[in-house]
Amino acid sequence: MMRPRTESVWKLLNPFVDLNWRAQVLPVMEFFHKTTPGTHVEHKTASLVWHYSTFLINIIYKTLQILVESSRKNVFYFVLQGRQIQNLASSRRQS
C-alpha cells in the first residue's frame, strides 16, 4: 500500500496480490472480537487489524496468535505485531 502525500486515497502497489487469505482468517478474528470486550477488527484494503486495549487481553492475544499461525497452510499473508494490535497483511502473489 502507498499513499502519495498529496492524495488521501491509499493505492495497492501490486494489483495481483492474493487477498483470499482474509476469508480464512476473518472468522477467527471476528470470534475474538465478539468474545473480547474492548477489541475491534479493522478492515483495510490489503490487511486485517485486530485492536485490543487491556492488560488481560495479552492472554487472549497469544491464543489468537497461535490459532492464526496454525491456519497458515498455503496462505499468503504475514503478521505484524504492534502495540495493542495484530495486523495481518498480504505477503505475495499466489502462483
In one-letter notation, the amino acid at residue 77 is Y
pLDDT at 41: 94
pLDDT at 27: 92
Digit-coded pLDDT (tens) for 25-46 = 899 899 988 988 778 999 987 7
Q: Walk me through the domains of the chain, giving residue ranges and CATH numbers.
A: 21-90 (3.30.70.1020)
Digit-coded pLDDT (tens) for 3-12 = 778 888 777 7
Digit-coded pLDDT (tens) for 35-82 = 887 789 999 877 899 887 765 567 777 777 777 777 666 666 666 666
The pTM for the full model equals 0.53
